[in-house]
A = this chain, B = another copy of it.
Amino acid sequence: MLEADLFRTLSDPTRRAVFERLVPREMSVSELKSGFAISQPAISQHLAALRGAGLVCERREGRFAYYRAEPQALAPLVDWVDRYRLFWPERIEKLKRVLEDMEP
């Protein structure tokens, strides 16, 4: 049931890009804004939406707000796609290969 929020939140391309940018490392709002052609309030609104879905979390430090992604919040979305991965044999094979490569 929770995948609904994730689909809605991630359906916007800009917001998805914001999330992706916060996966490798945390970033301040102004640093995020550079690289997007939208206003600072727009960024803050996207961050609020992502925060509402648990996809990012903020760390306050003085007047700066540092955001980082929380990939584990993708859980319901992962469960959703996994449910239909079962109807798709070749994809399972590929996944198995990926997993085998990860353990010694």
**Number of residues in A with C-beta < 8 Å to the partner?**
30
Number of copies of this chain that the complex holds: 2
Contact yes or no, B4 A13, CB < 8 A: yes
Determine if A59 is an interface residue (Cβ-Cβ < 8 Å). no
Determine if A85 is an interface residue (Cβ-Cβ < 8 Å). yes
Q: Sample 28 A-B pairs with CB under 8 A, ordered by A number.
A: A4-B13, A4-B16, A7-B7, A7-B11, A7-B13, A7-B16, A10-B11, A11-B11, A23-B84, A69-B84, A69-B87, A71-B84, A71-B85, A71-B87, A71-B88, A72-B88, A72-B90, A72-B91, A74-B84, A74-B85, A74-B88, A78-B81, A78-B85, A81-B81, A86-B102, A92-B99, A95-B95, A99-B99
